[in-house]
Amino acid sequence: MAKDPKKTLGASEFRKVAVSSLTNAPKVLGVTKDGVRILKPKGKATHFSTKEIRDAISTVRAAKRA
């Protein structure tokens, strides 16, 4: 059974798609010990401000140290 040529991508077409998707790559905020990248979200937070999130994280980290 032959493949439908309209549904398959050639190597040059695939390369164009891959390169164009890299230009809109999200910003990497950090990398964990095991190599997992933490990406910046595309949108803004709707329920919490950035300051509230940072305060919550610092509180949790301080409690973990104690």
How many domains are contained in the chain? 1
**Tokens, residue 55:** 């305060």
- Is residue 66 pLDDT above 80, yes or no? yes
Name 30's Cβ contacts closer than 8 Å, sequence gap at least 6: 37, 38
Residue 4 lies in a domain: no
DSSP per-residue string spanning 5-55: TTT---HHHHHHHHHHHHHTPPPEEEE-TTSPEEEPPSS--SSS-HHHHHH
Residue 49 lies in a domain: yes
The domain in which residue 24 lies consists of 12-65
Per-residue pLDDT, 29: 87
Write out pLDDT tens, residues 3-48. Answer: 665 655 555 554 555 554 556 778 888 888 898 998 988 887 788 8
| Mean pLDDT calculated for residue range 38-63 | 88
Residue 18 lies in a domain: yes
**Tokens, residue 11:** 């190597």
**Tokens, residue 20:** 């164009």
> What's this model's pTM, rounded to 2 decimal places?
0.39
